[in-house]
Structure 1
Amino acid sequence: MLFYGALIISLVSFSEAKIRPNNEIKVINGNDAQKGQFPWQVELMLETTDNNRIFCSGAIISHVWVLTSASCIQNANSISVSYGSNNSSDATTIESKSHIIYKNFNNDTLQNDIGLVELKSHIIFDETTQAISLSEDVVGDGVNVTIAGWGHSKNDSDKNNNRTEILQYVNISTIKNSECAEVFGRDVVTSTVLCTHNSSLVQGPCINDGGAPLIMNAATDPQHVGIFSFMGENGCEKNYPAAYTRTASYLDWIKNNTDV
């Protein structure tokens, strides 16, 4: 998954667990997604204002809107959205019309890390392309969730050409915010942040997975519960928690700015 531009924040007293933002982060120890398994998943390719090319993820929430992270799209000059396939080389691509970043997004603490991409034309839904429902519930700890992305499968390099071609996913559990705050700090892990972690196995998002949707009940009644935001700066294989923006905390903002 995606981390780009290496915005690294030094958190005093949290020596190793500094933040690495999501637009640089692939899924570690993941499984190959099957055709149509995650029909809402999209890959974003951005040309930035400083002429860089970066990749991240997002989720289809209507025929013309994609939900992602603010840190992914904040410096975008143009955005291409690929959808409709678990294989990135076979996907359909559409250009963006505009994008919106939450007005109180904090680039230092990554608070309010949420953004929207409006498409130039409508996506046609079929068995491989669908919108994801947005959860109204605040997810607690110990809940089984799923994260997927085309980012790196190991902490090998920040180069975009090391992304995986086949969409990867893992099932993982949420943890208590207090536990996550012990790693990243209470000023970062607030009530609008959700964290996941597997203490016995390194699993989760990595480079080029930023903005990826965190899904509850992915196989039965899929609900979008979080947007991948950041991980520890020392890499995805250090087995620190991964942090997400809570979807339910921003439902009114999403609805006020889209046709959802």
Structure 2
Amino acid sequence: MKLFVFLALVALATAIPAPEQKKEKLTPVAFKDIQGRITNGYPAYEGKVPYVVGLSFSGNGNWWCGGSIIGNTWVLTAAHCTNAASGVTINYGASIRNQPQYTHWVGSGDIIQHHHYNSGNLHNDISLIRTPHVDFWHLVNKVELPSMNDRYQDYAGWWAVASGWGTTYDGSSLPDWLQAVDVQIMSQGDCSQWWSLHENMICINTAGGKSTCSGDSGGPLVTHEGNRLVGVTSFGSGNGCQSGAPAVFSRVTGYLDWIRDNTGISY
């Protein structure tokens, strides 16, 4: 998964510095090219996560990210994925990464990057993509956002699924099949022992090497209970996806007003 864009071959990737890591002094990086991966996950059966899309960006080079369908004409992803993009091909309904059900291309004029995105520390790492209308069916469908009533829910201890395309362990070759991993959301306090967090960040426990990785960026973190999109993959540790450091996402509940104001979507 690209950043859900995370770590692959460090020498080949362009690194974006992320928030300072506190305890083990690991170098925090997010990668702008090279496909990413879900580590220690499992192949997602066809239709398990119909809301995930693959995003092939062009601009100063080409790079891959994930994203989530949130409406018939909207995809949510990470701002570090859209930054400096001239256009993007959206791949819908794929289990095999290069075999989507169909694709749409949109230009930079249909990308709405958060106005306070900071590429230095990845604060407000979230973007919207306006798309041509897509009809929903069992292989292509939206994921619902948290309700406005849940804007202060921290989801600590909740189980969620992350999904995307990429290698299954540090240094492996890329699998063709969409991968998923079940992970537990951490409290802000526990994650802050590793990272200096913005208030609109949310973390997962990566015990056992279960994590998002390079190429997963922008992809979804969706709760088991209620199937709500609560995170957008943002960054992880420069020591590798299996290092044990928490993986960090943009917290969707922190951006419900912004999403509503730009798309009209709210619950």
TM-score above 0.5, yes or no: yes
Deviation at 1:11, TM superposition (A): 3.0
Is 1:143 the equivalent of 2:155?
no
| Structure-2 residue corresponding to 1:65 | 74
Tell me how far apart the structure 2 counterparts of residues 128 and 9 of structure 1 sit (CA, whole Å).
34
Unaligned regions of 5+ residues in structure 2, if any? 7-12
Structure 2 vs 1, CA of residues 204 and 257 (structure 1 numbering), >3 Å: closer, same or farther?
A: same
CA distance in 1, matches of 2:83, 2:53: 18
Letter in 2 for 1:215: V
Q: 1:40 to 1:12 in 2, by over 3 A?
A: closer
Alignment correspondent of 2:10: none
Supply the distance in 1 between the matched residues of 2:31 and 2:188 (Cα, whole angstroms). Answer: 19
Shift of the 250–89 alpha-carbon distance from structure 1 to 2, 3 Å rule, reads same
How many residue pairs match? The answer is 247
Which letter does structure 2 place at the counterpart of 1:94? Answer: H
Partner SS for 1:7: strand
Match of 1:193 in 2: 201
What residue number does 1:204 align with? 211
| 1:114 corresponding residue in structure 2 | 126
Distance 1:248 1:13 in 2: 25
Q: What's the CA shift for 1:164?
A: 2.7
Whether the 8 Å contact between 1:26 and 1:207 is mirrored in structure 2 is yes
Which residue type is aligned with residue 85 of structure 1?
A
Question: Which residue of structure 2 lines up, in the alignment, with residue 79 of structure 1?
Answer: 88
8 Å CA contact 1:151–1:205 kept in 2: the answer is no
- Assess if the C-alpha contact under 8 Å between 2:21 and 2:28 holds in 1: no
Counterpart CA distance in 2 for 1:225 and 1:71 is: 18
- Are 2:38 and 2:163, in contact at CA under 8 Å, matched by a contact in 1? yes
Residue 152 of structure 1 contacts residue 208 of structure 1 at CA under 8 Å; is this kept in 2?
no
Maintained 8 Å contact 1:22/1:72: no
Code of the residue aligned with 1:183 in structure 2: it is W
Deviation at 1:125, TM superposition (A): 1.0
**Residue of structure 2 equivalent to 1:96:** 106
Show the 5 A alignment for 1:1-260.
1=1, 2-3=5-6, 5-9=14-18, 11=20, 14=23, 16-21=25-30, 23=32, 25-48=36-59, 50=60, 52-91=61-100, 92-97=102-107, 98-119=110-131, 121-136=132-147, 137=150, 138-156=153-171, 162-185=173-196, 189-199=197-207, 201-217=208-224, 221-260=226-265
Residue by residue over 1:178-220, the C-alpha shift from the partner in whole angstroms, topping out at 9 and shown as x without a partner, is: 22122122xxx12211000133x00010110000110002xx6
Tell me which amino acid in the other structure corresponds to 2:221: L
Instruction: Name the SS of the counterpart of 1:248 in structure 2.
Output: helix
- SS where residue 259 of structure 2 aligns? helix
Tell me, in whole angstroms, the C-alpha distance in 2 between the residues paired with 1:114 and 1:11: 19
Q: Deviations over 1:139-170 (max 9, x none)?
A: 3311111100102222227xxxx443211011
Structure 1 residues 11 and 66, CA, compared in 2 at 3 Å: closer, same or farther? same
Asked if the contact 1:29/1:204 (under 8 Å) is kept, the reply is: yes
1:99–1:118 CA contact under 8 A, matched in 2: yes
Q: Is the 8 A contact 1:225 1:248 kept in 2?
A: yes
Q: Partners in 2 of 1:23 and 1:204 — Cα distance? A: 18
SS at the partner of 1:88? coil
- The CA deviation at 1:75 is 1.6
Give the TM-score taking structure 2 as reference length.
0.86
CA contact (8 A) 1:155 1:207 kept: no
Structure 1 CA distance for aligned equivalents of residues 67 and 115 of structure 2: 19
Query: Residues 212 and 12 from structure 1, CA distance in 2 versus in 1: closer, same or farther, beyond 3 angstroms?
Result: closer
What displacement does 1:84 show? Answer: 1.1
Q: Is the 8 A contact 2:186 2:203 kept in 1?
A: yes
RMSD after superposition: 1.9
SS in 2 for 1:133: coil
